[in-house]
Chain A
Amino acid sequence: MNAHPPETQLHDYVDGLLGETEQRAVERHVRACDACRAEVEALRALTARLAALPRAIAPETDLLPGIHARIRWGSVDARVSSADATLSPAAQQHRRAGVAGAPEVPPQPVRGIPGGRALSSRFDARQLVRPRRSLATAALLLVAFGAVLALLFTREPARPPIAAGAGHEPGALSPAVEFRALDARYTAAARELLAELESLEDELPPGTLDIVRENLRAIDRALDEARLATASDPGDPRLARLILAAHEKKLDLLRRAAALSVES
């Protein structure tokens, strides 16, 4: 095999999904080709990294009392290790699929349609579902952001909870301010991921973005209603719980839509 193996074949090689003869042929090429060897090593490294991630970072049931306590009473320690930030549901998705990242690949011509590049990426299953490293990374980071936020709120206050409405530590942000900041960050994360999705519209199955947008509108309506209600009680943990749940749904919806273009 002198020509570089196609990207899809490299993925299958790393995944061990090639037939014996094909596997050997790719292996010979990879041994002799620095570029392909580097690509294979990168794929393996990412696969190993994803495989090492925990299956779930979903908060355990005792997370929410911690969130409530932090929203109502405490300031938070915003220092979170970069290692923590890698724990994301998106990663689980990739891990579940046994996926590794890959560089961007230009659209391939449609068979039988000379120069038909504009439509070429649509519904070529192998190309459609191949991961783009940039998007995979974005998805990892964005959804990790949710995990980071959860981590922030799971940290127990350094002091026993005090009565609602009482003061908080000097210099610490008030729970209401903290919650608004959290709300804004979730909103920004969702906006960023939506922009990423919109840039990949041609690579998503037709209609996907319309479905996503329609459902995002439903979630946004819910968020607006809940936010209005918080005006009368900014520290109410029950409202905070509903708002956080809606935010998580929004990020999850965007993550799942992104996975349609990145997963294998």
Chain B
Amino acid sequence: MRTPMLALLCLALSAGGTAAQQRLDHRRPLRADGLVRIHNLVGSTRVTGWDRDSIVVTGTIEEGGGRFYAGGGVEGVKLGVEGGLPKADASLHVVGSAPAHLEVRVPAGARVWVRAASANVEVSGVTGGIDVASVTGSIRISGTPREAVVESMAGDIVIEAADPMTVRAKSAAGAVSLSGGARDASITTVTGDITVSNGVYERGRFESIDGAIRFEGDLALAGDLEFINHGGPVELRLPANVSADFLVNTFRGEVENAFGSYPMRTGPDLRGELTFSRGSGGANVVIRTFKGRVSLKER
């Protein structure tokens, strides 16, 4: 097995060495609310919304990094990098092809769909829907998309909303950070941390298994937020004058509550449940953990 792999590697490296870096400059018209689908697995993809009804792709593909393709019409465009010679590391494990770095300008109202493996993805200035997924690449979304659906296996996700938006973000091992507020947010991780800050949050569900969940935002008047964790801590830093009804439920986790009462502990697992209200209530906050520490702090 080792010999064929070596042969393939040599072929790949020699073939890759003969090709020069490709420079991209591709332009085509696209409706203001057209669909843009982008595949670029290795390298980086940056998508920026602009006020023209056209799409422009620039960037580079490294030697052996595959071939750029683009197709479609004014309703929708599909583009990306395909093929690419296999690239192996020192132990002859295939690690992907050489990177491609795409800069894509799209109509601001376009719907943007991006798939990546280790490529990092940035999307900014897009007001249409955004759907981005990666394996290990990081994802950064900024602006005011109508809706953002963002998923990664191990890449970090950063979402900076200019105005409250609808967000669905999932990562397994990567951290997820959301700021700017949300009308409806759902963030899920397994071991990655979740940080929610800066802005007003109307409805949200934040879940992890072992990652830390930290919330430093403001609750909408009739907001409804739920935090679920197994072993990771849940920390809420809220204004001293917060007005909400709280339910804290934990089996083995400690509870620190700067807003007053502590849970009654019952049963062999010292499970505890704490309910209390601050101000005139209105917003609803539910926290559930198995053994994760729960901290309610004033900020």
Q: Which residues of A contact B (CB under 8 A)?
A: 12, 15-20, 22, 61, 96-98, 110-113, 116, 118-119, 122-126, 128-129, 205-208, 211-212, 214-215, 218-219, 222, 225-226, 229, 232-233, 238-239, 241-242, 245-246, 249, 252-253, 256-257, 259-260, 263-264
Contacts and interface: CB of A to CB of B under 8 A. Distances in A.
Given A19-B71, A215-B173, A207 B82 contact: no
Contact of A205 (B8, B113, B118, B230): B118
A227 to B, nearest CB: 11
15 contacts: A16-B75, A17-B73, A19-B72, A19-B73, A97-B131, A112-B85, A113-B11, A113-B12, A116-B11, A124-B83, A125-B115, A129-B115, A211-B153, A232-B268, A263-B133
Contacts of A125: 39-41, 66, 80-83, 115
A222 B209 contact: yes
B191 A218 contact: yes
A222 to B, nearest CB: 4
Contacts of B262: none
Contacts, number: 169
B292 to A, nearest CB: 10
A118 B3 CA distance: 13
What bracket does the count of chain B residues touching chain A fall in? 35 or more
Interface in B145-161: 149, 151, 153-154
A126 B82 contact: yes
Given A219-B190, A222-B230, 8 more contacts: A116-B8, A119-B86, A122-B94, A205-B117, A222-B231, A229-B290, A242-B228, A252-B170
B71 A18 contact: yes
A61 B210 CA distance: 23
Contact of B172 (A98, A123, A126, A212): A212
B233 to A, nearest CB: 14
Given A18-B72, A215-B191, A218-B209, A245 B228 contact: yes
Contacts of B83: 111, 124-125
Nearest to A119: B86
Nearest to A9: B71
Q: Which 5 A-B pairs have the closest CB atoms?
A: A205-B117, A222-B230, A215-B172, A215-B190, A112-B15
A263 B132 CA distance: 12
B153 to A, nearest CB: 5
Nearest to A238: B249
B16 to A, nearest CB: 9
B191 A17 contact: no
A263 to B, nearest CB: 7
B288 interface: yes
A233 to B, nearest CB: 7
B155 to A, nearest CB: 10
Q: Which of A111, A222, A226, A263 has the largest count of B CB atoms less than 10 A from its CB?
A: A222
Contact of B97 (A15, A123, A215): A123
Nearest to B151: A256
Given A123-B86, A222-B290, A97 B113 contact: yes
A211 B73 CA distance: 37
Contact of A229 (B35, B77, B269): B269
